[in-house]
Amino acid sequence: MRRFRTLFIILGIVMALLVVTPYLIPLDAANIPPAELADPEGEFIEVDGVSLYVRQTGPEDGVPILMLHGLLGTTEVWRYNRDAMAAAGYRVIAYDRPGGGLSDKRWEIDYTQAAQAELAWGLLDAVGVERAVLLSHSAGAKILTQMVMQQPDQVRGLVLVAPAIEEGGGPAGVDRLLVLPPVTRWMQVGLRVIFSEEGVRSVISDVHADPSFLSEDDYAVYLRGFQTPNWDTGFLALTRDSGYGQAKVADLADTTIPALVVHGDLDSVVPVETGRQVAATLVNGTLIEYENVGHQPMEEVAGRFNEDLIGWLGSVVK
């Protein structure tokens, strides 16, 4: 009996430490208001009660292109592309998806893919656009796919860069764990270790086949979102909702919308075979592969990417 009592005491102490310890670790953060980090060309637009950071470039009467970034991306992943697109006469609408960048990161927002797609349509409505080309990178392809499923007649064309449609997603049951405050707090502590400035730089460097072109300004645009209040809350909420209503490659099988798939053959995040599969699934799909290029072709080979994209758009989008 004494042994059991000792065991229970030890277990109780361990549980208490697990509950209390994360609250003893300070959560250091820059906590800079998003408005102070915004570019002069940027604006905040509220859609269904959610604040979205938006950058529009190009003529208002140009063919609209909505740009959907991936998990750790922001509007700035398109920094080497938007001016070229605007110069070609296209209206570029890039925004930080909720949970990232300078957009809303509140816990209570619905971050499921379907809800994010509805929010994207709401943004287009807010800026006066009825039909648009949808351009996605990585996990942004999941939102693109949901948008096609919701309003296919409003889509003029599809561009999927390194499409991570069925890749990723939170582990099963993570949504139930995240309702426990100590678990959430431990994850917040862990996120600060993983996404320290050094950690973010390492991640960004690793997703490029040749990161030597990246400057301090390039790294700064990726670090910006991690300087805002509640960036960890947004990341955890995205993880919480990521397993619900997952888009699949097969969801694009019946669409006849013209589509372009762009992939680097050295992509270490989404295998190039995935891009080939997506292109083969699409009825009107075209595939462009870049040799010796990683997960960010719109950055790594921006000149070729812009030329290929503008040429493809000019041939199929009316």
Average pLDDT over the chain reads 90
Flag whether pLDDT at 169 surpasses 80.
no
For range 167-192, the mean pLDDT: 73
**Confidence at residue 261, expressed as pLDDT on a 0 to 100 scale:** 98
**Confidence at residue 190, expressed as pLDDT on a 0 to 100 scale:** 86
Q: φ and ψ at 169, to 5 degrees?
A: 100, 145
pLDDT in tens, 47-64: 999 999 999 999 999 999
For range 114-119, the mean pLDDT: 97
- Contact of 136 with 278, CB cutoff 8 Å: no
**Confidence at residue 10, expressed as pLDDT on a 0 to 100 scale:** 58
Rounded distance between C-alpha atoms, residue 318 and residue 312, angstroms: 11
For range 270-274, the mean pLDDT: 96
**Number of CB atoms found within 10 A of residue 48's CB:** 13
**Confidence at residue 62, expressed as pLDDT on a 0 to 100 scale:** 97
Distances (CA, A) of 103 to 60, 234, 296: 23, 9, 22
Flag whether pLDDT at 237 surpasses 80.
yes
Q: Give CATH for domain 34-316.
A: 3.40.50.1820
Please provide the DSSP assignment of 194-263 as one string: HTSHHHHHHHHHHTSSSGGG--HHHHHHHHGGGGSTTHHHHHHHHHHHTTSS---GGGGTT--S-EEEEE
pLDDT in tens, 213-223: 999 999 999 99
**Confidence at residue 176, expressed as pLDDT on a 0 to 100 scale:** 66
The residue with greater pLDDT, 238 or 297, is 297
Flag whether pLDDT at 287 surpasses 60.
yes
Q: How confident is the model at residue 189 (pLDDT cuts 50, 70, 90)?
A: confident
Which of 98-107, 186-195, 270-279 is predicted least confidently? 186-195
Percent of the chain surpassing pLDDT 90: 74
**Confidence at residue 186, expressed as pLDDT on a 0 to 100 scale:** 80
Rounded distance between C-alpha atoms, residue 122 and residue 118, angstroms: 6
Name the one residue in this structure whose structure tokens are 């888009």. 247
Rounded distance between C-alpha atoms, residue 228 and residue 224, angstroms: 7
